[in-house]
């Protein structure tokens, strides 16, 4: 096994590399191929995971042990998975894996010896496997921010691997009878972005599924404040057709997630009063984000659910970087019939439309007035 | 548009009390316009769009005759499946209307069969029939312009004898007066001939767009079908042309802020060939383009630009200045056309399937077919014809004044059209008998009292709606023209804390400025540069003032309101359909107009 396959640069991978770099890694590679700015970084591949697993489990019994657990045995699952996770985080890494991850960290500008003062990175799980298997990780895959120094990166890579054996994730796989054999965990390591503000963007309306608009939500600091529900974000709706901001709602934002004062990890704190009512995005930034959203959507040919951040760094010029993009699932999955189908004559639409009683929804509206 | 809780509801017709000091308002209007006890069971809304002021007695003809025609069209002629006609009632001088829905499924089915056959004929032959319509409408305009008012001199014309016509001219007083009313009525029948079908086709496209794109704004739907060379833009285009001509001829120095039209015309007459050239240009523009009403043709005081040159001349100095500064004054029609095409293509591309795209094409095609009529008929009907109609009635007023029945010609509009009939009979009899008309003693005190009452009624704030909320709003005009939907009702019902007024976001952008509340188009001269216009409704002919204002707010306005289109063209925020901005906002207050969200905030 060559070192090249243990780690791959984000810019060198694409959608076809999912089995090797996982969903998140592949999506980031695909974005950067499409010319969208993503933080520079690399992916510790599924092969690196396999290689390390073989080292700590030469007999190859670990996966079978997990798979044989009874799906309903919550206590058993908790006990076994805790032991598996413990083994993964404690086992020494094979030398070639260790060397290549360290070398790439150095490639990001990080002095491996600098420890707490090294270049900060984000270490994020990126599971491989079937879609259904990946679905089991929604919200469970671990992400570690503001990680500094090679040793800490190595520790967090192992933590990400261990998260594959999260009790909830394993329970789900057992229930769904998803085989353990092909499951692996890749890990994305990216230069840490210190965002002024961050958030999510849907290339359709999350409320109505309307594909003619882009919905953007954002708040000060890291996007985790918004994703975790710690803060009510500012909301913007932008027309894809005219580029106009058709709605903006500036929320009172009380919390912010940002770098811990120690330089490592994240701290959630109260937002200074002056920033609370201030919109976190300028109109130009809203429009620039929407333009990026449209490009991503066009690239994939499908409605996207995007995580973004804006930095005050000079690169890229507008400060926008994407941290993730995946197909939107709620509305895309809904199989509503067509709004209308063609008729023999155009006027038949009028006959149908005017032949209908335009009732007022008395269930909701009448109550307001009577 | 929050409706807040159960506190807000509309009053019943029977709960509305007479305005103190104007208890006699009923004497101005016919018996069939009064609310009946059983009317408490129905939903009515104030038609502030057409009737933003208390009605002078004659002017109720602009409700009586249109509703005679509209109802006939929908209920009896085309047999719209789910709606009959519109009924109107007057209270405290204000006109409330309601559409009578058809809700019985069997009845709808029966009517639908007839509607398909009749409406189908019009939709299928639309352009050809519309050409015929234009010819007929121009014929009606020529007829009304040609009506003469007999002068009743001491002796009749010798021709009555020499050509043995045998009919004395006092006969033609009544006949010609009746012809005015009859032609006005015919005009309205033709007005509605295509209009309700036009709204019908548009409402279907509109609702498709709302379903396919739940977030699409009303104005964006309108933009996909809106015409580029709309006739209603022509009068303003002509002013821009005249501004260029003034600079070209080197007579632009005459057009200064606040100049009087008469003085300018006099001065130009004395400036040799260049002055003559400009005056010839003006004459060419006046017929027909200055037949545009300064209002929207529902009140006798909505005079045309030709009647009152102050309005077009108020816009000229600014246009002249812009020409001098090298600004491009022509509307970029090709650019607008391309933008419309681009918008249509984008939305079309966003549809989910080829099937939906095919349905979209059909509906858009039909909406595009009917829209020129929807946009252009007003110029012929409400503007050109109607200003001529009122001018003729005014001439009858002059006759009545000359004969001592009225103190002044304008007072004819304080009489109901059936009372004018009586007054004319009085004059005809007196002329025949050699006696004196008795109308002066009878009508003049009545007219003085009515004028006083109208002033009192002007200060009343009519509730936007009265009666119980309806189960259905089927009438396409009610939905599209007046913009009355479930959402509007919620907006009207929302009491609010008094500092925020909700309406429709008609044109995007947010600005703050000083409000100028204009209850009547006649006050249009009061507008100052940079103010925010707050009015009951804006008519297309207000376009020139849009060059001066920062934003526009109206009480009433649906998705088809031209105010929205004009505001967008001038790139200024507008909020329409607020229900009662003119009564909540006072001139001089600072307001913020949020055209993105449809909210007007009173800042103090």
Task: Please give the distance of CA B135 from its chain centroid, rounded to a whole number.
Answer: 22
**Closest to B116 (Cβ–Cβ): which among A209, A351, A356?**
A351
DSSP state of A57: -
In whole angstroms, give the CA distance from residue B8 to residue B555. 19
* Residues from chain B contacting residue A339 (CB–CB below 8 Å): 208, 211-212, 351-352, 356, 359
Q: What is the mean pLDDT of chain A?
A: 86
3 state DSSP class of B172: helix
> Please, which residues 239-268 of chain A have a Cβ atom closer than 8 Å to chain B?
239-242, 244-248
Nearest alpha-carbon partner for B554 in B52, B93, B91: B52
Please report the DSSP string for A258-287 in residue order: EE-TTSSSEEEEEPPHHHHTS-SS-HHHHH
Task: Please give the distance of CA B107 from its chain centroid, rounded to a whole number.
Answer: 33
* Confidence band for B590, pLDDT divided at 50, 70 and 90: very high
pLDDT at A191 (0 to 100): 94
For range B428-445, the mean pLDDT: 97
Q: Is a pLDDT exceeding 50 seen at residue A222?
A: yes
> What are the residue ranges of CATH 3.30.1490.20 in chain A?
3-191
> What are the residue ranges of CATH 3.30.470.20 in chain A?
195-327
Candidates B5, B45, B80, B204: best to mutate against A (most CBs of A within 10 A) is B204
Where is pLDDT greater, at A102 or B486? A102
Q: Looking at the predicted complex, does its ipTM rise above 0.95?
A: no
Q: Is a pLDDT exceeding 60 seen at residue A362?
A: no
Q: Is a pLDDT exceeding 90 seen at residue A173?
A: no
Q: What is the mean pLDDT of chain B?
A: 89
- Per the document, the length of chain A is 370
pLDDT at B330 (0 to 100): 79
Percent of residues in chain A assigned helix, strand, coil, to nearest 5: 40, 20, 40
The sign of the dihedral angle between the CA atoms of B237, B240, B242, B244 is negative
Residue B424 CB partners (closer than 8 Å, separation 6+): B173, B174, B177, B396, B399, B400
A357 and B CB contact within 8 Å: yes
Q: Is a pLDDT exceeding 70 seen at residue A369?
A: no
pLDDT at B568 (0 to 100): 67
Task: Average the pLDDT over each of B159-163, B521-525, B585-589, B591-595 and give the range with the smallest value.
Answer: B521-525
CA atoms within 13 A on the CB side of A184: 20
pLDDT tens-digit readout, A271-284: 898 888 899 999 99
For strand B574-576 and strand B551-554, is the pairing parallel, antiparallel, or unpaired? parallel
Task: Average the pLDDT over each of A208-217, A252-261, B592-601 and give the range with the smallest value.
Answer: B592-601
3 state DSSP class of A345: coil
Where is pLDDT greater, at A58 or B484? A58
* Confidence band for A366, pLDDT divided at 50, 70 and 90: very low
Q: Cis peptide before B241, with omega less than 30 degrees from 0?
A: no
* Residues from chain A contacting residue B476 (CB–CB below 8 Å): 354
In whole angstroms, give the CA distance from residue B318 to residue B322. 6
* Confidence band for B6, pLDDT divided at 50, 70 and 90: very low
pLDDT at A104 (0 to 100): 93
Where is pLDDT greater, at A242 or B137? B137
Indicate the fold that domain A3-191 takes in CATH.
Dna Ligase; domain 1 (3.30.1490)
Q: Could you tell me the CA-to-CA distances from A293 to A24, A203, A308 in Å, in that order?
A: 17, 6, 10
pLDDT at B3 (0 to 100): 34
Cβ–Cβ < 8 Å for B119, A350:
yes
Residue B182 distance to chain A (closest CA, Å) = 31
> What is the helix (H) or strand (E) element at residue B263, kind and residue range?
helix B261-269
For strand B551-554 and strand B532-535, is the pairing parallel, antiparallel, or unpaired? parallel
A363 and B CB contact within 8 Å: no
Contact B214 A208 (CB under 8 A): yes
Cβ–Cβ < 8 Å for B103, A357:
yes
Contact B216 A212 (CB under 8 A): yes
pLDDT tens-digit readout, B130-172: 999 999 999 999 999 999 999 999 999 999 999 999 999 999 9
pLDDT at A137 (0 to 100): 54
* Confidence band for A227, pLDDT divided at 50, 70 and 90: confident
pLDDT at A360 (0 to 100): 54
pLDDT tens-digit readout, B170-212: 999 999 999 999 999 999 999 999 999 998 899 899 989 989 9
pLDDT tens-digit readout, B295-322: 778 999 988 999 989 888 988 988 999 9
Q: Is a pLDDT exceeding 80 seen at residue B491?
A: no
Going from the N-terminus, what domains does chain B have, and what CATH number goes with each?
Answer: 13-112+461-480 (no CATH), 120-227+361-456 (no CATH), 494-602 (3.50.30.10)
**Closest to A351 (Cβ–Cβ): which among B112, B207, B350?**
B112
Residue B402 CB partners (closer than 8 Å, separation 6+): none
Kindly give the residue spans of alpha helices, DSSP state H, lying in B403-523. Answer: 417-433, 439-458, 476-480, 486-493
Write down the pTM of the prediction.
0.79
> Please, which residues 326-355 of chain A have a Cβ atom closer than 8 Å to chain B?
338-343, 345-347, 349-355
Phi, psi dihedral angles at A169 (to 5 degrees): -65, -45
Biggest distance spanned by C-alpha atoms of chain B = 81
Mapped to the 3 state alphabet, what secondary structure does B300-334 carry? CCCCECCCCCHHHHHHHHHHHHHHHCCCCCCCCHH
pLDDT at A183 (0 to 100): 86
Q: Is a pLDDT exceeding 60 seen at residue B290?
A: yes
> Please, which residues 198-217 of chain A have a Cβ atom closer than 8 Å to chain B?
205, 208-213
Q: Could you tell me the CA-to-CA distances from B347 to A240, B201, B205, B212 in Å, in that order?
A: 9, 19, 13, 9
pLDDT tens-digit readout, A296-307: 999 988 899 999
pLDDT tens-digit readout, A131-167: 555 554 555 567 899 999 999 999 999 999 998 998 8
Tokens of A308: 């973004």
Biggest distance spanned by C-alpha atoms of chain A = 78
* Confidence band for A83, pLDDT divided at 50, 70 and 90: very high
Q: Is a pLDDT exceeding 80 seen at residue B483?
A: no
**Number of Cβ atoms within 10 Å of the Cβ of A211:** 23
Domain A195-327, second-level architecture:
2-Layer Sandwich (3.30)
């Amino acid at each position: 096994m060559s070192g090249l396959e243990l780690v791959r640069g984000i810019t060198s991978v694409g959608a076809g590399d999912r089995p090797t770099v996982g969903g998140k890694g592949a999506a980031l590679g695909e974005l950067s191929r499409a010319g969208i700015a993503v933080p520079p970084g690399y992916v510790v591949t599924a092969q690196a995971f396999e290689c390390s697993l073989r080292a700590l489990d030469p007999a190859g019994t670990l996966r079978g042990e997990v798979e044989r657990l009874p799906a309903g045995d919550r206590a058993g699952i908790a006990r076994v998975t805790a032991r598996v996770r413990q083994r993964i985080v404690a086992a020494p890494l094979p030398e070639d894996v260790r060397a290549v991850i360290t070398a790439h960290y150095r490639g990001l500008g990080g002095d491996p010896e600098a420890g707490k003062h090294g270049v900060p990175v984000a270490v994020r799980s990126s599971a491989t496997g079937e879609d259904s298997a990946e679905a089991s990780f929604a919200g469970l895959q671990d992400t570690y921010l503001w990680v500094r120094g090679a040793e800490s990166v190595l520790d967090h890579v192992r933590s990400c691997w261990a998260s594959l054996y999260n009790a909830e994730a394993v329970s789900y796989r057992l229930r769904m009878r998803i085989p353990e054999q092909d499951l692996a965990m890749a890990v994305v390591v990216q230069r840490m972005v210190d965002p002024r503000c961050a958030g999510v963007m849907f290339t359709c309306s999350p409320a109505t599924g309307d594909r003619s608009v882009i919905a953007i939500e954002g708040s000060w600091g890291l996007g985790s404040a918004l994703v975790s529900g710690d803060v009510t974000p500012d909301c913007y709706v932008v027309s894809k057709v005219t580029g106009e901001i058709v709605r903006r709602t500036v929320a009172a934002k009380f919390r912010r997630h940002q770098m811990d004062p120690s330089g490592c990890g994240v701290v959630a704190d109260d937002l200074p009063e002056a920033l609370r009512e201030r919109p976190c995005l300028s109109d130009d930034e809203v429009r620039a984000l929407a333009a990026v959203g449209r490009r991503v959507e066009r690239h994939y040919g499908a409605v996207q659910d995007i995580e973004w951040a804006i930095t005050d760094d000079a690169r890229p010029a507008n400060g926008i970087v994407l941290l993730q993009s995946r197909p939107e699932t709620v509305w895309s999955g809904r199989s509503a019939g067509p709004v209308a189908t063609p008729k023999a004559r155009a006027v038949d639409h009028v006959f149908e439309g005017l032949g209908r009683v335009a009732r007022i929804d008395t269930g909701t509206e009448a109550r307001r007035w009577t | 548009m929050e409706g807040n809780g159960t506190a807000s509801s509309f009053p019943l017709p029977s709960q509305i009390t007479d305005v103190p000091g104007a208890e006699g308002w009923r004497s101005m209007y016919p018996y069939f316009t009064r609310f009946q006890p059983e009317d408490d069971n129905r939903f009515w809304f104030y038609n502030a769009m057409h009737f933003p002021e208390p009605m002078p007695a004659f002017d109720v003809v602009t409700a009586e005759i249109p509703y005679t025609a509209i109802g006939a069209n929908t209920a009896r002629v085309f047999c719209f499946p789910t709606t009959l006609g519109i009924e109107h009632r007057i209270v405290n001088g204000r006109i409330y209307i309601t559409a009578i829905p058809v809700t019985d499924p069997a009845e709808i089915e029966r009517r639908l069969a007839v509607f398909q056959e009749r409406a189908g004929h019009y939709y299928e032959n639309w352009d050809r029939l519309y050409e015929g319509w234009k010819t007929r409408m121009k014929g009606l305009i020529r007829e009304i312009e040609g009506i003469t008012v007999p002068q009743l001199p001491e002796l009749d014309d010798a021709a009555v004898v020499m050509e043995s016509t045998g009919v004395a001219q006092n006969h033609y007083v009544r006949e010609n007066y009746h012809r005015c009313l009859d032609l006005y009525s015919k005009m309205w029948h033709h007005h509605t001939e295509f209009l309700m079908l036009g709204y019908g086709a548009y409402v279907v496209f509109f609702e498709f767009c709302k379903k396919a794109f739940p977030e699409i704004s009303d104005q964006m739907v309108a933009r996909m079908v809106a015409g580029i060379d709309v006739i209603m833009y022509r009068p303003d285009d002509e002013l821009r042309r005249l501004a260029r001509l003034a600079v070209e001829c080197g007579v632009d120095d005459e057009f200064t802020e606040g100049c009087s039209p008469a003085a300018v015309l006099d001065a130009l007459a004395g400036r040799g060939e260049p002055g003559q050239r400009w005056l010839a240009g003006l004459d060419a523009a006046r017929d027909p383009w200055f037949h545009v009403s300064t209002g929207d043709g529902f009140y006798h005081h909505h005079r045309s630009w030709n009647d009152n040159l102050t309005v077009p001349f108020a816009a000229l100095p600014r246009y002249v200045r812009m020409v001098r500064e090298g600004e491009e004054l022509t509307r970029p029609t090709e650019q607008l056309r391309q933008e419309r095409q681009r918008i249509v293509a984008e939305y079309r591309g966003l549809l989910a399937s080829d099937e939906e795209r095919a349905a979209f094409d059909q509906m858009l095609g039909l909406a595009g077919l009917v829209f020129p009529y929807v946009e252009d008929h007003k110029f012929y009907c409400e503007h050109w014809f109607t200003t001529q109609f009122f001018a003729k009635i005014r001439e009858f007023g002059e006759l009545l004044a000359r004969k001592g029945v009225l103190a002044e010609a304008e007072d004819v509009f304080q009489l109901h059209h059936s009372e004018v009939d009586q007054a004319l009979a009085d004059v005809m009899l007196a002329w025949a008998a050699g006696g004196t008309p008795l109308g002066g003693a009878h009508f003049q005190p009545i007219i003085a009292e009515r004028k006083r009452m109208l002033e009192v009624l002007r200060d009343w704030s009519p509730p936007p709606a009265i009666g119980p909320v309806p189960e259905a709003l089927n009438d396409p005009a009610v939905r599209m023209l007046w913009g009355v939907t479930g959402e509007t009702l919620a907006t009207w019902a929302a009491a609010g804390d008094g500092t925020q007024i909700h309406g429709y976001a008609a044109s995007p952008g947010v600005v703050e400025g000083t409000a100028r509340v204009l209850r009547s188009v006649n006050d249009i001269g009061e507008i100052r540069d940079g103010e925010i216009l707050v009015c009951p409704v804006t008519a297309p002919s207000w376009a020139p003032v849009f060059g001066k204002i920062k934003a526009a707010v109206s009480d009433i306005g649906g998705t088809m309101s031209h105010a929205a289109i004009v505001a967008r063209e001038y790139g200024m925020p507008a909020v329409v359909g607020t229900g009662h901005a003119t009564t909540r906002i006072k001139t001089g207050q600072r307001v913020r107009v949020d055209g993105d969200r449809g909210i007007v905030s009173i800042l103090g």
